[in-house]
Chains A and B, each alone.
Chain A
Amino acid sequence: MTQINVNVDGADYSDDVEPRMLLVHYLRERLGKTGTVVGCDTSNCGACTVHLDGRSVKSCNMLAVQADGHEVTTIEGLATNGELHAVQQAFHECHALQCGFCTPGMIMQSVDLLNDNPKPSEDEIRAGLEGNLCRCTGYHNIVKAVQSASGAVTSGGGRS
């Protein structure tokens, strides 16, 4: 067991974890952050995407111990003071989700994409979301949502 100290969605946590425990399992099973989900075992699907110090990472592709001393933002910490993040709002407005399983990861990746490139072209959006799979929407409305949010996103997503 290794002790880690992590800030997740604004709260500090101190836990003993098995060295082999993945970050996503730590978030889900130890902290109850079940908003972040697991969709594959090869880091292809991106459903588990969270932010580590403000940048998107696939939390199935990282050990919990690697998050020691870092800040993690999950889908559950994206809204601030009861206000949805612009990307969350845009996903709702544009019907960019159906079953919603890929949605947490897709939103977290979209926020990261817009942080990097606030006014992306359609091609840039599509390339930027390539690491996140969705089986329901055909991506059409996800692309629209990111385009729509790009008009509204002015600063870094997630917690400030």
Chain B
Amino acid sequence: MTVTEERPAGPGKEIGSARRRKEDQRLITGRTKFTDNIQLTGMLHLAMVRSPFAHATITSIDTTEAKASKNVVAVLTGADVAEEQGALPCAWPITPDQKSQPHPSIAVDRVAFAGEIVAVIVARSAAEARDAADMVDVDYDELPAALDLRKAAVDSADTVLAHPDLGTNRSAFWQFDSADAGTGSSVDDAIRDAEVTIEREYRQQRLIPAFMEPRSTVVDPTGEQLVMWSATQVPHILRLMLAMTLGISESKVRVIAPDVGGGFGGKLQVTPEEVITLLAARRTGKPCKYTETRSESLMAAHHGRDQWQRLTLTAKKDGTVTGLKVDLLADMGAYLGLVTPGVPILGAFMYNAIYKFPAYQFSCTNIFTNKTWTDAYRGAGRPEATFAIERLMDELAAELGVDPLEIREKNWIKHEEFPFATVAGLEYDSGNYEAATAKAKEMFGYDELRAEQKQRRESKDPVQLGIGVSTFTEMCGLAPSRVLGSLSYGAGGWEHASIRMLPTGKVEVVTGVSAHGQGHETAWSQIVADRLGIPFEDIEVLHGDTQISHKGLDTYGSRSLVVGGEAVVKAADKVIEKAKPIAAHLLEASADDLEFKDGRFGVKGTDKGMGLGEIALAVFAAHNLPDGVEPSLDSDATFDPVNFNYPHGTHLCALEIDTETGGIKMRKYVCVDDIGNIVNPLIVAGQVHGGLVQGIAQALWEEAVHDESGTLVSASFVDYLVPTAADTISFDIDHTTTPATTNTLGTKGVGEAGTIASTPCVVNAVVDALRPFGVNDVQMPCTPERVWKAINSSSPKGDDPTEAEAQPHFDAEGGVA
């Protein structure tokens, strides 16, 4: 089967061209290799017995009936594996005295969230495993559950504890203060001297990553190594962690991430289910498979966000911001997952965003509750930061009666001021906020829409127009290893690549990043095609198998291109370096007289030359190489960036709100993102579109809702509102370009940009529409009910129907109690 491809513009022109993806062919014809597609001879299937209680002691487990059930091979409980299961890893202890609770894959004597695994059935078919799971009889003594984040944060004698043995729900406190760090002045002085003070408390509701492919793991214990296929974003980290936590030699574990159906941070984890599948395979000596149901996925795969943000912004009367104080409560849920504690900290450096604030303080208290643990979800920390500051800038504009773009321009870093050292201690390398904003305003028809809004307000139109603004930046490309070290993260942030020059002139590119929808096979081919002058079609990109790609740190944090792509560039440059003396020898010329262009070494001033493919064949034969030169062009490179990179953009959104029903209709969404140089505009557009919808979904639809006993009631796609095609609109996207200065391609990450920017843009539009009604906040998700209640309530915060115990506005002095 063939597809027609447009030809590239010519040698050296792959980067920047809208190449159709190499990955598509198998995906559009169903020739896929998702983990659940794998069937091995004699394979056994797992089903999990999960706790229905958020917090309970396990008093007894009777597995007699389940064990006798048809075709059941084994039933495992926590007690059965207590000595071998170890504890699931957390790689990011943010403080030396961080409190944590060991996290067993199968609970042994106590469960700490609803959905935690208490027993495992191993049977000859998935259906028989499921049948037997219903026969396991578990007796629980229910314990009081810590479910409300703010109540859990209070240290008092009658506080319900998620883990009684810890004596507190507080896991860690982390602070950055610009006065202490020497990057700015004192925020308390700014508050004391403020001419204008904006105080707000915002809720980042709990979200669920909701990747489309449910997680699945297959482990084959036959042969010398344990081979694990898993729907994971992080095969390399998973392999390392399995070895470290289970005490298996790393060289005896091979992890393969085959086709992986989305992740969004949700598959950046070492999961109980992965460990259990491995233990079951090792015990039975048979290949074992576990594939979760969607309900299990929503309930027990890690969640995201879930914070309360207490914010104080101070300014002069002319709109110049003088300080920002951020005080967070972050819900860890029941356990600390792979990077759980660090997620809010990834926001710490971003609340000051694109602005020149003189004083800044960020404090975060991480809290345990009896809910599913939280961890990375698209943007991880930075959407929360961007939401807070972009909402606050709108509030400041409203307070001062000026246009929200005007207040931003007054405070943002001007393009001629880059590189810019921020109050949070980062150095922004490049950007042009003026250019992106000007372009976005023009595409949006900003002035015309403001005029329409004015007219609708004056005529008291029941349908009001809201215009939302978000001028975001983010730090991405995780990350410089030294910075990660300074933040106590357990690993570095380098990335690895290898290039293998095959004798036929074909090229294999091995990358340490692990795509699950991002299109790396296409984009990496474009990069190598330009660098080596090899046709796009002759390049094969290999990834996601620790035995092929033996070294890497995987895909998350918008890092793949800016870190992993740069490693590919460096490996390609080494190939050219190695080929040069060989070319000189074969061409009987001096290496100094050679130039490499379009895949060919030419002797300057002559028509003599030799293609890289010809050299690869000569190297393979190795009949005629210079003395002392090894017969190989293959090259490796490991790249560790010196800085994060900082995409930015201006997003504008127009919403119509029916003030009689609270119904919201999005009319227009424009974004102009500066993500540096673009390798493939088609792939970039896809990342932006998808990112936008995930951010918009936080603003309008999605929320993980628990009932009063801690059961997740939004545990199916009936109740967890992942948007459909009918809920969304088509977007107007464009770019401005200021190349990043910290990688040779000049690229910036794009995977998370849309999600980070769009949430505040949409909520700003909702609030903007409702300002004439005295409303200055609507809690997310901004449902028609909440919007209607906000309009029909006397409180400026709107009326929040789901948070009955919502606290009154906090006082200026109050830290987190």
Using a CB–CB cutoff of 8 Å, the interface residues on chain A facing chain B are: 18, 20-21, 28-29, 33-42, 44-45, 47, 74-76, 78-79, 82-84, 88-89, 91-93, 95, 97-104, 107, 122, 125-127, 129-144
A149: min CB distance to chain B, Å: 12
B30 touches A95 (CB 8 A): no
Q: A130-B726, A135-B264, A140-B728 are in contact. List 8 more A-B contacts (CB 8 A).
A: A20-B127, A21-B127, A39-B214, A89-B3, A101-B261, A126-B728, A131-B724, A142-B725
Segment at the interface with A among B32-40, B132-140, B149-157, B606-614: B32-40
10 closest A-B pairs by CB: A35-B30, A101-B261, A100-B27, A99-B517, A138-B693, A44-B717, A138-B689, A98-B517, A75-B30, A34-B37
Which residues of the partner chain B approach A20 to less than 8 Å between Cβ atoms? 127
A122 to B262, CA, bound (A): 26
Using a CB–CB cutoff of 8 Å, the interface residues on chain B facing chain A are: 1-3, 20-21, 23-32, 34, 36-37, 39, 127, 210-214, 259-262, 264, 293-295, 516-519, 682-683, 685-686, 689-694, 716-718, 722, 724-726, 728, 730-731, 754
Residue of B nearest to A107 (CB): B28
A101 touches B1 (CB 8 A): no
B519 touches A35 (CB 8 A): no
Q: Which of A40, A88, A127, A134 contacts B28 (CB 8 A)?
A: A88
User: Do most interface residues of chain A lie in helix, strand or loop, or is the interface mixed?
Assistant: loop
B728 touches A138 (CB 8 A): yes
A45 touches B294 (CB 8 A): yes
Which residues of the partner chain B approach A47 to less than 8 Å between Cβ atoms? 212
A99 touches B39 (CB 8 A): no
B517 touches A129 (CB 8 A): no
Residue of B nearest to A142 (CB): B725
A44 to B21, CA, bound (A): 28
Q: Which of B2, B20, B717, B725 contacts A129 (CB 8 A)?
A: B725
A95 touches B731 (CB 8 A): no
B730 touches A122 (CB 8 A): yes
Contacts A91-B28, A92-B20, A135-B262 given; indicate if A45 touches B717 (C-beta within 8 A).
yes
Which residues of the partner chain A approach B692 to less than 8 Å between Cβ atoms? 138
Q: Which of B212, B689, B725, B726 contacts A45 (CB 8 A)?
A: B212
B24 touches A92 (CB 8 A): yes
A42 to B21, CA, bound (A): 32
A92 touches B30 (CB 8 A): no
Q: Which of A37, A82, A92, A101 has the most CB of B within 10 A?
A: A101
Which residues of the partner chain A approach B23 to less than 8 Å between Cβ atoms? 100
B725 touches A143 (CB 8 A): yes
A147 to B728, CA, bound (A): 16
A100 to B741, CA, bound (A): 33
A143 to B689, CA, bound (A): 12
A29 to B3, CA, bound (A): 29
Which residues of the partner chain A approach B34 to less than 8 Å between Cβ atoms? 34, 37, 101
Contacts A39-B214, A126-B728, A143-B725 given; indicate if A100 touches B32 (C-beta within 8 A).
yes
A97: min CB distance to chain B, Å: 6
B758: min CB distance to chain A, Å: 10
A104 to B24, CA, bound (A): 11
A136 touches B690 (CB 8 A): yes
A134 touches B30 (CB 8 A): no
B725 touches A41 (CB 8 A): no
B294 touches A41 (CB 8 A): yes
A43: min CB distance to chain B, Å: 9
A129 touches B28 (CB 8 A): no
B717 touches A137 (CB 8 A): no
Which residues of the partner chain A approach B731 to less than 8 Å between Cβ atoms? 138, 140
Q: Which of B34, B39, B690, B728 has the most CB of A within 10 A?
A: B690
A82 touches B259 (CB 8 A): no
Which residues of the partner chain B approach A99 to less than 8 Å between Cβ atoms? 211-213, 259-262, 516-517
A84 to B724, CA, bound (A): 26
Q: Can you offer 6 A-B residue contacts whose CB atoms are under 8 A?
A: A84-B1, A98-B686, A100-B23, A100-B27, A129-B725, A137-B686
Q: Which of A21, A40, A97 contacts B294 (CB 8 A)?
A: A40
Q: Which of B20, B23, B261, B262 has the most CB of A within 10 A?
A: B261
B814: min CB distance to chain A, Å: 39
B124: min CB distance to chain A, Å: 13
A35: min CB distance to chain B, Å: 2
B716 touches A129 (CB 8 A): no
Contacts A98-B518, A100-B23, A104-B30 given; indicate if A136 touches B718 (C-beta within 8 A).
no
A95 touches B20 (CB 8 A): yes
Residue of A nearest to B6 (CB): A93
Which residues of the partner chain B approach A36 to less than 8 Å between Cβ atoms? 30
Residue of A nearest to B758 (CB): A138
Q: Which of A39, A79, A125 contacts B725 (CB 8 A)?
A: A125
A137 to B689, CA, bound (A): 6
A79 touches B717 (CB 8 A): no
Q: Which of B28, B259, B519, B716 contacts A41 (CB 8 A)?
A: B716
Which residues of the partner chain A approach B724 to less than 8 Å between Cβ atoms? 126, 129-133, 139
Residue of B nearest to A144 (CB): B730
Residue of B nearest to A146 (CB): B725
A45 to B690, CA, bound (A): 17
A11: min CB distance to chain B, Å: 15
B716 touches A40 (CB 8 A): yes
Which residues of the partner chain B approach A45 to less than 8 Å between Cβ atoms? 212, 294, 717
B30 touches A133 (CB 8 A): no
A138 to B690, CA, bound (A): 4
Residue of B nearest to A35 (CB): B30
Which residues of the partner chain B approach A39 to less than 8 Å between Cβ atoms? 212-214, 294
A97 to B25, CA, bound (A): 11
B730 touches A97 (CB 8 A): no
A126: min CB distance to chain B, Å: 4
B117: min CB distance to chain A, Å: 18
A34 to B37, CA, bound (A): 6
Contacts A122-B730, A132-B725, A135-B210 given; indicate if A38 touches B262 (C-beta within 8 A).
no
A99 to B261, CA, bound (A): 5
Which residues of the partner chain A approach B2 to less than 8 Å between Cβ atoms? 82
A82 to B295, CA, bound (A): 38
B295: min CB distance to chain A, Å: 6
A93 to B686, CA, bound (A): 12
Q: Which of A40, A100, A102, A139 has the most CB of B within 10 A?
A: A100
Residue of B nearest to A102 (CB): B212
Which residues of the partner chain A approach B3 to less than 8 Å between Cβ atoms? 84, 89, 92
A95 touches B725 (CB 8 A): no
A37 to B685, CA, bound (A): 26
A139 touches B693 (CB 8 A): yes
A133 touches B212 (CB 8 A): yes
Which residues of the partner chain B approach A139 to less than 8 Å between Cβ atoms? 689, 693, 724-725, 728
Which residues of the partner chain B approach A130 to less than 8 Å between Cβ atoms? 724-726
B689 touches A141 (CB 8 A): yes
Residue of B nearest to A139 (CB): B725
Q: Which of A47, A129, A131, A137 has the most CB of B within 10 A?
A: A137
A18 to B210, CA, bound (A): 31
Residue of B nearest to A89 (CB): B3
B725 touches A74 (CB 8 A): no
Which residues of the partner chain A approach B694 to less than 8 Å between Cβ atoms? 135, 138
A133 touches B717 (CB 8 A): yes
B446: min CB distance to chain A, Å: 22
Residue of A nearest to B212 (CB): A101
Which residues of the partner chain A approach B682 to less than 8 Å between Cβ atoms? 95
Which residues of the partner chain B approach A107 to less than 8 Å between Cβ atoms? 28
Which residues of the partner chain A approach B722 to less than 8 Å between Cβ atoms? 133, 135
Which residues of the partner chain A approach B27 to less than 8 Å between Cβ atoms? 97, 100, 103
A82: min CB distance to chain B, Å: 5
Which residues of the partner chain A approach B39 to less than 8 Å between Cβ atoms? 29
Residue of A nearest to B31 (CB): A35
Which residues of the partner chain B approach A28 to less than 8 Å between Cβ atoms? 37
B725 touches A136 (CB 8 A): no
Which residues of the partner chain A approach B37 to less than 8 Å between Cβ atoms? 28, 34, 37
Q: Which of B25, B26, B518, B730 contacts A140 (CB 8 A)?
A: B730
B696: min CB distance to chain A, Å: 8
Which residues of the partner chain A approach B25 to less than 8 Å between Cβ atoms? 92
